[in-house]
Amino acid sequence: MADARRLYEKVADDLRAAIAKGDLRSGDSIPSEAELSQQHDVSRQTVRQALQQLTQEGLITGGQGRARTVRTYEPLEWHLSSYESRASHATRDPSGDQWSVDVQDQQRKPQQDVEVSLVKQPPDIVSERLAIAPGTLVVVRRRVRLVDEIPFQLADSYFVEELVRGTLLMEPGDQSAPGGLLASIGHPQVRYRDEIRVRMPLKDEATRLHLAPGTPVAEHIRTGYAEDGTSLRVMITIVPGDRHVMIYELDAS
Amino acid sequence: MADARRLYEKVADDLRAAIAKGDLRSGDSIPSEAELSQQHDVSRQTVRQALQQLTQEGLITGGQGRARTVRTYEPLEWHLSSYESRASHATRDPSGDQWSVDVQDQQRKPQQDVEVSLVKQPPDIVSERLAIAPGTLVVVRRRVRLVDEIPFQLADSYFVEELVRGTLLMEPGDQSAPGGLLASIGHPQVRYRDEIRVRMPLKDEATRLHLAPGTPVAEHIRTGYAEDGTSLRVMITIVPGDRHVMIYELDAS
DNA sequence: CAGTGGTCTAGACCACGCT
DNA sequence: GCGTGGTCTAGACCACTGG
């Protein structure tokens, strides 16, 4: 099956092959550590090393007390540019934000937990993009977005406080789209710049999103600009790789 | 520093804190396994478990014989939509592809190794997007894109053979942009759909791109469409997370 | 309660890189 | 050659999950 010299590689290759070949399908449980240890005549630690590698590759999942299973993926589509074809969707709702619409289009249940606060010292990433001096007051809207009761994204939006003072944006309960709200108070966003980085989650992010080991995330940073080129809003979203496909529709210019 | 009950978590937290605090900077080497083992009064295996976790988080890098170091990131910008502001770049070259231009703009040296072949059975992902029947002949252009001699991306383009028969596209040495070439033979792409997935690399991808353990990748799929809505081209790019930031510039419609 | 995975130890040998 | 990390074993105890 494989000519690996390392024992744990042989065990791992064996299972990888079984998964690729279809002997083990999504959701199936794989042999126990003890079984694999006997079958390959290696110590349990060596088996564990193999299994850890597969876990890190995102192929299997574990859990104390439960048998390990082959991991399943059914990612949600996240549409980041609204191409004309999507404008006709039945569930489109101009007052809600596009994300909720997107989720409902896919027959799943969106939900957002919002928390608003004021900060003087936002992360460097934010102050650079908002082009503000240190000490400028900033409003942060921290959202945990859930789908079918499961945490799906962490989405933090940052605005200069002066701009949104006294508006609904400061209300934690408000569920409307910040983009729409900015427009309604005379600050429409006419251009976006999106930056996407791919990395492993921080410990904190992994906890809050209940990420299985070996689940990478995308860090999606959207900066919204006004007509005159000033930046109005920065939104940083942490997107677990196992639950999302990000989609852009573009016109070739 | 931390109140973790697991020993390896304590060791890991300790190092994480040192990195966050700045005691250990990018590129610094961290204490050896033996040292950490003594300092925390745990076995070497426990130390290794902690270090493996940090490696998996992308915080440190290892290598047989060498001391482990704190990992450094200096990602390259990859511009996926050409916003007007970029049209003015001095190095813009209509004959080359946008990627090479991008890299040169950042004072680094691009290079591409191209390999062209014909296949009857492309991956499902491709046949679905090209909307072709099984058995349709497909041209594949497999490229390894390097920057400063280091492999940076795997970019595979797929075309229906009938469309590009006898053109330069079939020449392995050709370095011009397939997009430009498609246009020159009467098949301009007017629209793109990009899908971005985030996952851990396959074993094969990790090898070809010399990925350090704990490096996730983005799988970027671009489908190009003609005026009449038929798909002309599918390009699948494997993008290591430690070397890239993907950038989209959008007009709010 | 039996079986699973999770943590931890002590000790061994090997492969590599540097100086 | 010495110190580094990489692989492997044998055995122990704990924590959780399921029937």
Q: Distance between CA atoms of A167 and A182, rounded to whole angstroms?
A: 9
| CB-CB contact of A102 with A122 (8 Å) | no
Pick from B75, B199, B250: which is nearest to A241 by CB? Answer: B199
B59-68 as b/e, with b when 16 or more CB fall inside 10 Å?
A: bbbbeeeeeb
Query: How many angstroms is C1' of C13 away from CA of A152?
Result: 46
DSSP classification of residue A29: B
Is residue B115 packed enough to be buried (19+ CB in 10 Å), middle (13-18) or exposed (0-12)? Answer: exposed
Q: What is the pLDDT of residues A54-92, one digit of tens each?
A: 999 999 998 899 999 999 999 999 999 865 445 445 555
Q: Which two tokens stand for residue B163?
A: 């469309």
The stretch A10-24 carries a mean pLDDT of 94
Q: Is the dihedral of CA B156, B157, B159, B164 positive or negative?
A: negative
B56 touches strand D (CB under 7 A): no
Q: What is the pLDDT of residue B85?
A: 45
| Rg for chain A, CA atoms, rounded | 23
Q: Which residues of B touch A179 (CB under 8 A)?
A: 252
Question: How many residues are given for chain B?
Answer: 253
Rounded mean pLDDT of chain B? Answer: 88
Q: Which residues of B touch A16 (CB under 8 A)?
A: 203
Q: What is the pLDDT of residue A172?
A: 65
| CB-CB contact of A75 with A244 (8 Å) | yes
Q: Which two tokens stand for residue B87?
A: 């049209």
pLDDT tier at A3 (50, 70, 90 boundaries)?
very low
pLDDT above 90 covers a percentage of chain B that reads 71
| CB-CB contact of A162 with B178 (8 Å) | no
Strands A191-199 and A244-251: unpaired
Query: How many angstroms is C1' of D8 away from CA of A43?
Result: 8
Beta strands in chain A (DSSP E): 60-61, 69-70, 76-79, 110-119, 138-147, 150-160, 191-199, 217-225, 231-240, 244-251
Q: Distance between CA atoms of A106 and A84, rounded to whole angstroms?
A: 18
**Greater pLDDT, A98 or B218:** B218
Cα B65–Cα B66–Cα B70 angle in degrees, nearest 5: 150
Q: Distance between CA atoms of A108 and A104, rounded to whole angstroms?
A: 5
Lowest mean pLDDT among B7-11, B50-54, B109-113, B166-170: B166-170
Q: Look at A239 and B82 and tell me if their CB atoms are within 8 Å.
A: no
Cβ count near A83 (within 10 Å): 16
Q: What is the pLDDT of residues B172-203, one digit of tens each?
A: 666 666 666 777 787 888 999 999 999 999 99
DSSP string, A144-155: EEEETTEEEEEE
Sheet of B150-160, strand order = A76-79, A244-251, B191-199, B217-225, B231-240, B150-160, B138-147, B110-119
Q: What is the pLDDT of residues A110-150, one digit of tens each?
A: 999 999 999 999 999 999 999 999 889 999 999 999 999 89
Q: Look at B58 and A200 and tell me if their CB atoms are within 8 Å.
A: yes
Q: Which two tokens stand for residue A3?
A: 């000519």
Residue with token string 């959008």: B250
Task: Please name the nucleotide lying closest to A40, CA to C1'.
Answer: D8
CA distances, A203 to each of A213, B53, B235 (Å): 11, 10, 34
Q: Which two tokens stand for residue A193?
A: 């710049």
pLDDT tier at B169 (50, 70, 90 boundaries)?
low
pLDDT above 70 covers a percentage of chain B that reads 87
Instruction: Check pLDDT > 50 for residue B163.
Output: yes
A44 touches strand D (CB under 7 A): yes
The most distant pair of C-alpha atoms in chain B lies apart, rounded to whole Å, by: 71
Query: How many angstroms is C1' of D13 away from CA of B37?
Result: 21
B7 touches strand C (CB under 7 A): yes
Q: What is the pLDDT of residues A160-176, one digit of tens each?
A: 998 888 777 677 666 66
Lowest mean pLDDT among A207-211, B51-55, B78-82: B78-82
Which chain B residues in 181-240 sit with Cβ < 7 A of strand D? none
Q: What is the pLDDT of residues B58-76, one digit of tens each?
A: 999 988 999 999 999 999 9
Report phi then psi at A183, rounded to 5.
-65, -40
A68 touches strand C (CB under 7 A): yes
Strands A244-251 and A76-79: parallel
Instruction: Check pLDDT > 70 for residue A93.
Output: no
Is A177's Cβ below 8 Å from some Cβ in B? Answer: no
Q: What is the pLDDT of residues A37-55, one digit of tens each?
A: 999 999 999 999 999 999 9
Q: What is the pLDDT of residues A159-215, one digit of tens each?
A: 999 888 877 767 766 666 666 677 778 888 899 999 999 999 999 999 999 999 999
Instruction: Check pLDDT > 70 for residue B2.
Output: no
Closest CA to B205 of B243, B159, B158, B155: B155
pLDDT tier at B135 (50, 70, 90 boundaries)?
confident
Instruction: Tell me the three state secondary structure of residue B174.
Output: coil
The residue of A53, A222, A248 whose CB has the most chain B CBs within 10 angstroms, and thus the best one to mutate to test that interface, is A248
Q: Distance between CA atoms of A171 and A141, rounded to whole angstroms?
A: 9
Residue with token string 């489109």: A92
pLDDT above 70 covers a percentage of chain A that reads 87
Q: What is the pLDDT of residue B151?
A: 93
Pick from A194, A199, A251: which is nearest to B190 by CB? Answer: A251
Q: Distance between CA atoms of B219 and A250, rounded to whole angstroms?
A: 18
Residue with token string 């930031």: B245
Q: What is the pLDDT of residue B144?
A: 94
Instruction: Check pLDDT > 50 for residue B154.
Output: yes
